Amino acid sequence: MRTIIYPVAILAIAASASFLTSCSSGCDNSEEKERVARLEQYVYQSDNSVFPADSAKKLVEAYQACVNKCPADTMAGEYLFKAGEVAVTLQEPDTAVKIYHRLYTEFRNHQKGPMGLFLEAFTYDNQLHDFEKARALYEQFIKEFPDHEFADDAQGSLDNLGIPVEELIKKWEQQDSAKSNGEGGVDSSKVGI
């Protein structure tokens, strides 16, 4: 009984929040938000044995429809972030970079805004293999957000840009091996051992 009531309660709360945020931003995208909620529930339900790609594509479109109708809505940045994640999952990197670019440029001050820039760079790097574009975006991210929690990740990605995964794994294994063999560790003669 509890498993039935819990999802219904969450949907009711989400619908109420959707109504309140649509009223506060001066436009009404409640129909679009209801569609998002239905599609999210279907796409993310745990009993899907196969990822429902068609429904996931519709979810990306629904997220964007909400943002297009009410860009001042408090959920707009979150919806673009989620749309980008789903596009990446669908292996649609061209769609993802457009969404992430929009997230960064139109919602820069939103909590997820900086991540739009980082994920745009990451997608150019890892899925589109456009290393020049990725380099420029990683550098922009580091310059604009030097204290962001992903600044180190951006630098690490820059340091390893264009290096095949197999080479990176070999490099990391060599570093681990060197550490376990005492290389780069503490010099025992300097600590009195």
pLDDT at 175: 86
Which whole-number Å values give the CA distances from 29 to 25, 85, 160, in the listed order?
10, 22, 43
pLDDT at 38: 94
Task: Tell me, yes or no, whether 99 lies in a domain.
Answer: yes
pLDDT at 150: 97
Q: Which pTM does this prediction carry?
A: 0.75
Number of domains observed in the structure of the chain: 1
Query: What CATH number is given to the structural domain containing 166?
Result: 1.25.40.10
Sign, CA torsion 131/136/139/145: negative
pLDDT at 45: 86
Q: Give which of 119, 115, 76, 118 is closest to 96, Cα–Cα.
A: 119
pLDDT at 72: 92
Tell me which residue range forms the domain holding 134. Answer: 2-24+31-180
Task: Tell me, yes or no, whether 187 lies in a domain.
Answer: no
User: Using an 8 Å Cβ cutoff, are 75 and 56 in contact?
Assistant: no
User: Using an 8 Å Cβ cutoff, are 53 and 90 in contact?
Assistant: yes
Q: Give which of 87, 96, 95, 147 is closest to 122, Cα–Cα.
A: 96
Hunting for tokens 């951006």 — which residue is that? 154
Sign, CA torsion 133/136/141/142: positive
Task: Tell me, yes or no, whether 87 lies in a domain.
Answer: yes
Task: Tell me, yes or no, whether 100 lies in a domain.
Answer: yes
Task: Tell me, yes or no, whether 170 lies in a domain.
Answer: yes
pLDDT in tens, the chain (193 residues): 444 433 333 333 444 444 444 444 568 888 999 999 999 999 988 677 788 999 999 999 999 999 999 999 999 999 999 999 999 999 999 999 999 999 999 999 999 999 999 999 999 999 999 999 999 999 999 999 999 999 999 999 999 999 888 898 888 888 888 888 876 554 444 434 4
Which whole-number Å values give the CA distances from 129 to 84, 86, 133, 162, 190, in the listed order?
17, 19, 9, 8, 46
pLDDT at 130: 97
Q: Write the DSSP symbol of residue 91.
A: T
